[in-house]
């Protein structure tokens, strides 16, 4: 039951079963990653006395202390007996990383059933098999068997990632790092032989460090229970879901990847998710972008968007993307009040447009942009602002970044930035993200984030 899963986020002791002294082995990499954690670490190896300066034990039963979590890094057929020993030891959480179980055919399914039988009737819970396990940056818990130098991890943050795919998890983590976004936890579900997405949803709903939940699923363990839980959770914590297996080919691919079986039509899934307030996304880039928006801003009070830029072409492109129902977000362009337009005329050049989109032209300055953002944030007809952050105009300095940051964090009308800064773009997006400011490297990604925030606002108003 969920209350037994708290050790998944903060174990006081971890055993790695199948530890190897060979740096090329996955179990060696996992041990090296675990070594930085804030917990007792016990390598289990029948061959080695010490690895990485740590004393090894012949089996988990030989460890002279309680073990909260055990990572079993052994081939599928060799994993069953160590899991039985973990149950006998009273280990709370067992993570089985190997593939070759239910996703691989009848023989693998038989092995997977043996895993389930090994923990049946005990207090031990099983994560996986066929999973990379858990990453919890705030505790240094990292069971991933990918070297940190090859795949940099994000720091502590507000978003939890729950994934049925290891590759999607790694992609999310790397994109989060690039976006300056931290994670509260990243947990791989694998084949979901015991612990399911529903168990983890309840766990993350209670986790005080988690403000939004991102998910990748190929199947639902129990679709009705998922929507029931999501309906309870989404008013307080947004859930963003990338659900694959939408087509016949996708379903076939999913069954050979994690043994997933499609249980509902796509139309039924879409309706249930919308009713539960789950933000549905369709690729890995949208997953990180929307999860980031939910964690930083949460929602908009409406769907009326104002575009402000110093390049007229960007304003036109953004306007199309805001309003279009074909290749756009189906939002509204805000109608600025007369008071707002009068205030804008007093601070922008006479040839600038004070309609929406607001075109500041190449004559823009840092102070001009600052005043304009303040005026727009005070207009009650504006629910969200897309700021085109351009560092190319001659009278703009790097101080414009601070102007945007300060206005975005003011607590007034939310601002989402689209950053155009040449070679500095990626670094600015990352730096702003680390300060909980929404910034994206393209206009469309900024508009798409505003659309997700507007839809969440609509859902929450309907709930009330």
Collapsed DSSP state (helix, strand, coil) of residue 133: coil
Report the predicted TM-score, pTM, of the whole model to 2 decimal places.
Answer: 0.92
Residues 464 and 455: their CA atoms lie apart, in Å, by 15
pLDDT value, residue 6: 79
Q: What percent of the chain has pLDDT over 90?
A: 93
Task: Give the pLDDT confidence of 114-162 residue by residue, as tens digits.
Answer: 999 999 999 999 999 999 999 999 999 999 999 999 999 999 999 999 9
Q: How many CB atoms lie within 10 A of CB 25?
A: 15
What pLDDT, on a 0 to 100 scale, did the predictor assign at position 250?
54
319 pLDDT above the threshold of 60: yes
> Mean pLDDT score of the chain, rounded to an integer?
94
Q: For tokens 């947004």, name the residue.
A: 238
Q: What pLDDT is recorded for position 230?
A: 98
Stretch 21-37: mean pLDDT: 97
Residue 251: per-residue pLDDT: 55
Residue 375 structure tokens: 């005026």
Instruction: Please say whether the beta carbons of 222 and 177 come within 8 A.
Output: no
In this predicted structure, what is the pLDDT of residue 266?
Answer: 83
Place of tokens 């085109």: 388
Asked if the model's pLDDT at residue 3 lies above 50, the reply is no
Which domains are seen in the chain, by residue range? 1-129 (3.40.50.720), 151-296 (3.40.50.261), 299-463 (3.40.50.261)
**Shortest CA distance to 162 belongs to which of 138, 193, 179, 183?**
183
Instruction: Encode pLDDT of 211-249 as tens digits.
Output: 999 999 999 999 999 999 999 999 999 999 999 977 666
Tens digit of pLDDT for each residue in 243-287?
997 766 655 665 554 545 445 578 889 999 999 999 999 999 999
Helix (H) or strand (E) segment spanning residue 170: helix 166-178
Tokens 């659309």: give the residue. Answer: 451
pLDDT at residue number 261:
44
Contact 361, 351 (CB under 8 A): yes
Intra-chain end-to-end CA distance of the chain, in Å = 31
Q: How do 50-51 and 54-55 pair as beta strands?
A: antiparallel
249 within 8 A of 275, measured Cβ to Cβ: no
The two three-digit tokens of residue 248, written as one number: 């016949």
* Contact between 239 and 186 (Cβ < 8 Å): no
pLDDT at 1 over 50: no
Question: What pLDDT is stored for residue 181 in this prediction?
Answer: 97
- What is the 8-class DSSP label of residue 153? P
Tokens standing for residue 262: 């499609």
Beta bridge partners of residue 440, listed in sequence order: 418
- 């998710």: which residue's tokens? 273
Name the one residue in this structure whose structure tokens are 């460890």.
63
Question: Rounded to the nearest 5°, which phi and psi values hold at 425?
Answer: -55, -55
Residue 464: predicted pLDDT: 81
């Amino acid at each position: 039951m969920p209350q037994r899963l708290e050790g998944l986020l903060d174990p006081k002791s971890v055993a790695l079963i199948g530890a190897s002294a060979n740096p090329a082995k996955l179990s060696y990499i996992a041990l090296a990653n675990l070594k930085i954690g804030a917990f007792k670490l016990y390598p289990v190896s029948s061959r080695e006395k010490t690895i990485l300066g740590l004393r090894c034990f012949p089996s988990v039963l030989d460890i002279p202390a309680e073990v909260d979590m055990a990572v079993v890094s052994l081939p599928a057929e060799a994993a069953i007996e160590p899991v039985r020993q973990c149950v006998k030891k009273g280990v709370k959480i067992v993570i089985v990383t190997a593939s070759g179980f239910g996703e691989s055919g009848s023989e693998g399914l038989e092995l997977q059933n043996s895993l389930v039988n090994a923990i049946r009737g005990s207090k031990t819970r099983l994560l996986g098999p066929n999973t990379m396990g858990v990453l919890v940056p705030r505790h240094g818990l990292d069971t991933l068997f990918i070297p940190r130098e090859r795949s940099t991890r994000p720091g502590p943050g507000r978003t939890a990632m729950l994934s049925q795919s290891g590759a999607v998890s790694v992609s999310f983590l790397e994109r989060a790092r690039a976006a300056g976004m931290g994670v509260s936890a990243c947990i791989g579900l694998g084949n979901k032989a015991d612990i399911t997405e529903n168990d983890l949803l309840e766990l993350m709903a209670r986790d005080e460090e988690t403000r939004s939940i991102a998910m990748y699923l190929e199947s639902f363990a129990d679709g009705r229970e998922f929507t029931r839980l999501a309906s309870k959770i989404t008013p307080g914590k947004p859930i963003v879901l990338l659900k694959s297996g939408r087509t016949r080919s996708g379903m076939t691919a999913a069954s050979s990847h994690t043994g997933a079986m499609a249980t509902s039509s796509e139309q039924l899934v879409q309706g249930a998710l919308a009713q539960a307030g789950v933000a549905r996304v369709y690729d890995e880039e949208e997953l990180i972008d929307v999860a980031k928006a939910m964690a930083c801003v949460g929602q908009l009070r409406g769907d009326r968007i104002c575009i402000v830029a110093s390049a007229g072409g960007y304003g036109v492109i953004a306007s199309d993307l805001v309003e279009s129902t074909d290749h756009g977000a189906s939002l509204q362009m805000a109608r600025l009040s007369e008071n707002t337009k009068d205030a804008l005329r007093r601070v922008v050049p006479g040839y600038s447009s004070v309609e929406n989109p607001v075109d500041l032209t190449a004559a823009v300055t840092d102070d001009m942009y600052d005043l304009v953002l303040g005026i727009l944030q005070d207009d009650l007809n504006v629910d969200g602002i897309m700021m085109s952050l351009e560092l190319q105009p001659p009278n703009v300095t790097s101080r414009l970044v601070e102007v945007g940051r300060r206005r975005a964090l003011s607590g007034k009308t939310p601002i989402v930035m689209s950053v155009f800064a040449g070679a500095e773009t990626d670094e600015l997006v990352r730096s702003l993200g680390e300060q909980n400011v929404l910034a994206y490297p393209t206009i469309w990604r900024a508009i798409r984030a505003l659309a997700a925030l507007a839809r969440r606002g609509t859902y929450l108003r309907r709930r009330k």
